Structures are given as C-alpha cells and as structure tokens.
Structure 1
C-alpha cells in the first residue's frame, strides 16, 4: 500500500521524536516501504550545522542510525531554504512531491491556544499535502 514514507525531522529535537520514529519504522516494515528522512536547513551557519553540507551529512548519519536500529530501508534529503523559519512547510510540501512520498509520518504536540492562531507544521502538512499524513502525539 505504501512505498515511500516521508519523515520530516528537526535534528535539534531528536529526543522528542521517539514515538513517531517507532511508528514510521513499524509502518515501513509492515508495507516493505522505504523511509526518507527530510530536514530543512538554511544556507547560513546555524547551531546544528555550519553549512548545508554538514547538515546533510548529519541527516544521512541519523538515517543510517535509524536503519540499523529498526532494520528498514532509508534515505535522507536535506532541503535548503532561504529562511527556514517561514519556509519550512512550503519546503516540506515540495519535497514530499519531489520524492514521490505516499505517506508522511511526523511528530506533533498537544494542541495549545496558540495553535488556533498559528498552525503547527503537522497541521499545515496534513491540510495541504496530496498524500496521507499520520501525526503522532
């Protein structure tokens, strides 16, 4: 049913992704699907990486760790955005289409009052993606 699972990942919040990572791995095993870990970074130096190449390497290492931990086929894609603080959703939606993903699994948080004013990334991806989106709390 699913061939490619897209997993948006923020490398600065790995410790908060445990449940969603396990869910994605379980679904990938069940369907024999590949998981593509997608991250968005800027061209300028940031706390997580000094440049896009370093970020891409860290993301690829993370994907390899997930493959070893869960026994699934993985890939990674680092997307460069002029301003990740405002372009992340648009960049992720473009990557989902470009990569041919047919399921997105992503971590979300419990809704708060601010979510009624500004939608979270998961809300936006679910509302605007052409593929199924599984939000994990």
Structure 2
C-alpha cells in the first residue's frame, strides 16, 4: 500500500516525536516501506549544529537510531533554509515530491487558538499534500 514514508522531524523537540515515529516504524515494517526522515535547518549556527554538515550528521545519527529500532530502511534528508521559522512548511512540501513520498507521518500538538487563524505545519501539509498524510497527536 505504501512504499515511501516521509517523516518530518524537529530535532530540538525529538523527545516529543515518539508516537509518530512508532507509527512510521510499524507502517514501514508492515508494508516493507522505507522512511525518509526530513528536517529543516538553518544555514547559520544553531543548537543543532554550527554548520549545515553538523546538522546533517545529527539528522543522520537520528535516522541510524530509527533504522536500528525498527529494522527498516531509513534515509536522512537534511533541508537547509535561510529562515527555518518561516520556510519550514514550504520546504517540507517540496520534500514530499523530492523524496517521492506516498505517505507523510507527522507529529503534532493539540490545536489551540492560534491554529484557528493560521495552519500549523501539519495542518497545512494535510490540506495541501497530494499524498496521504497521517498527523499523530
């Protein structure tokens, strides 16, 4: 049913992604699908790395841990943006086509007042992606 699962992650909040990662791992195992872990980082130094390469290495380590945990193929796709706070949703939408995802599995928080005015990353992607989107709370 699914062959390529894209899982957007924010490594700053990786401790809150457990449910979504478990869903992705189980679905990947069930269908023999691969997982592409994508994350949007900045070109300037941050807590996730001083360089884009450090950011990519950190994401690769995260992907390697998932590969070991679920025994499925996991690829790391670091995405770079000038301003990740502004460009994350657009970069994730482009990544869906880039990786050829037929399913996106995203962690999300419970919607609050702000989401009634502006879509969250997950809300926007669920509304606009051409593939299936599973938002996990």
TM-score (norm: length of structure 2): 0.98
Deviation at 1:15, TM superposition (A): 0.6
Runs of 5+ in structure 1 lacking a partner? none
Distance between the aligned counterparts of 2:128 and 2:57, measured in 1? 29
Distance between the aligned counterparts of 2:108 and 2:8, measured in 1? 11
Q: Secondary structure at the match of 1:80?
A: strand
Distance between the aligned counterparts of 1:22 and 1:98, measured in 2? 24
How many aligned positions are there? 137
Which residue of the partner structure matches residue 77 of structure 2? 77
Which residue of the partner structure matches residue 130 of structure 1? 130
1:56-108: CA deviation from partner (whole Å, max 9, x where unpaired): 00001100001101111110100011111110000001011011010000101
Distance between the aligned counterparts of 2:13 and 2:66, measured in 1? 15
List, as ranges, runs of 4+ consecutive aligned residues in structure 1 with deviation greater than 2 Å.
Answer: none
1:7 corresponds to 2:10: no
Runs of 5+ in structure 2 lacking a partner? none
Deviation at 1:48, TM superposition (A): 1.4
Deviation at 1:118, TM superposition (A): 1.8
Deviation at 1:46, TM superposition (A): 1.0
TM-score (norm: length of structure 1): 0.98
1:89-130: CA deviation from partner (whole Å, max 9, x where unpaired): 000010110110100001011111111112111001111111
